[in-house]
A and B are shown apart, each in its own frame.
Chain A
Amino acid sequence: MRLKGIKVGDSKLSEYLQTVFEKFELRVRKGYYYTEDGLWASVEDPKIRVGVTDYLQRTGGDVAFVELVKLGSTVQKQTEIGTLETAKTTVSLLSPISGTVEEVNGMLLEKPELVNSDPYGEGWLIILTPHSLEDDLKSLMSADDYFQLMLKRLETEHEKLESR
């Protein structure tokens, strides 16, 4: 696919689908599930790890605060599990699945920048025990689908800049 300002790649050897927009490399981790809002869910049977995508952290900006739901809480799909506060904006984080919060990433209190530097790794947010995993996963996007959505958004962004 040819898009202005955008380079698209899918190396079979890589764990990621990736694109370059302006000077930034944006990655989507293969094998994860995604919401349109930019949260990912990784199945680590029997639990689910949740985090934010590269695209979300890049568009949100440098994270100054992360507030997350309490340990032991029950969350429903698409309800708020926390917020990211950046220099630019505050992003509400909506859970990709329903479940009970088993772990919260305590590192993010002292080092919120992990969300920016390693969104698919050390910047994870919470770990859940899912309540209805099969049903919830059906409504999430695959890595390929989320990647295509991201490309469309980047193209729209680029067109807006061109029309200025």
Chain B
Amino acid sequence: MRNWSPDRLNSTTQNKVIVIPCSGIGKALGTVGREATYAIVENMRKDVTQTICLALLVSGDEESVQLVQRNKCITVDGCPLRCAEKNVRIAGGDLAASLRVVDALRENRGLKPKSVTFLDRDGQQLTRAVAEQIASKVDAILGA
């Protein structure tokens, strides 16, 4: 039985930027990347962006693969393993930008997001910084 959310992906969607976080579980920076992505697609750039499940893409879901191939993508990785970037490339996605949360951490020295499940204050602050970076990339891609 299918179980889709109301804003389920439309694989023919074009002119939206697809923002794909790694959502790595077990590290706070994976949560930060995910939260920043939500901030973009639900709020800051909600009309021009959407997100997809990385796991779905990696497992070869046809709609997800077509979506990343037909639209510009931004990946947001929580750790140096860069699962999102690598897997979007493997899927043949049109990778316009790839961000690493650790780079935002380098620009915001002193922040130490400790909690993984629910972000603490440092985590929320880092999330805002990453979201701003994603937003800039989206604007650059769309020529805003």
Interface residues of A (CB under 8 A from B): 61-62, 64-65, 85, 87-89, 113, 116-117
Is residue B93 contacting chain A, with contact meaning CB distance below 8 A? Answer: no
- Contacts A62-B27, A113-B80, A117-B80 hold; do A87 and B112 have CB atoms under 8 A apart? yes
Using CB atoms, name the residue of chain A closest to B102. Answer: A64
Number of A-B contacts defined by CB within 8 Å: 27
Q: Is B2's beta carbon under 8 Å from chain A?
A: no
B29: chain A residues within 8 A (beta carbon): 62, 87
Restricting to B12-58, which residues have a CB under 8 Å from any CB of A? 27-29
Interchain CB contact under 8 A, A64 and B105: yes
Shortest distance in angstroms between B94's beta carbon and chain A's nearest beta carbon?
Answer: 26
Within B112-130, which residues are at the interface with A (CB < 8 Å)? 112-114
A-B pairs with beta carbons under 8 Å apart, 14 shown: A61-B27, A62-B29, A62-B79, A62-B80, A64-B105, A65-B106, A65-B109, A85-B109, A87-B102, A87-B113, A88-B112, A89-B112, A113-B80, A113-B102
Q: Distance in Å from the Cβ of A16 to the closest Cβ of chain B?
A: 21
Count chain B residues whose beta carbon lies closer than 8 angstroms to a beta carbon of A: 12
CA distance A62 to B30 in the complex (A): 12
Chain B positions within 8 Å of A, measured between CB atoms, are 27-29, 79-80, 102, 105-106, 109, 112-114
Q: How many Å lie between the Cα of A64 and that of B79 in the bound state?
A: 10
Q: With A and B bound together, what is the CA distance between A62 and B77 in angstroms? A: 13
Contact between chains at A64 and B106 (CB < 8 Å):
yes
Q: Which residues of A contact B105 (CB under 8 A)?
A: 64, 87
A122 to B138, CA, bound (A): 35
- Chain A residues lying within 8 Å of B28, measured Cβ to Cβ, are 87-88
Specify which chain B residues have a CB less than 8 angstroms from the CB of A116 in the assembled complex: 80
> In whole angstroms, how far apart are the Cα atoms of A64 and B111 in the complex?
11
Cβ–Cβ < 8 Å partners of A113 in chain B: 80, 102
Q: Are B102 and A62 in contact (CB under 8 A)?
A: yes
Contacts of B27 in A (CB 8 A): 61-62, 87
> Across the two chains, which residue of chain B brings its CB closest to A111?
B80
Least distance between A64 CB and chain B CB atoms (Å): 5
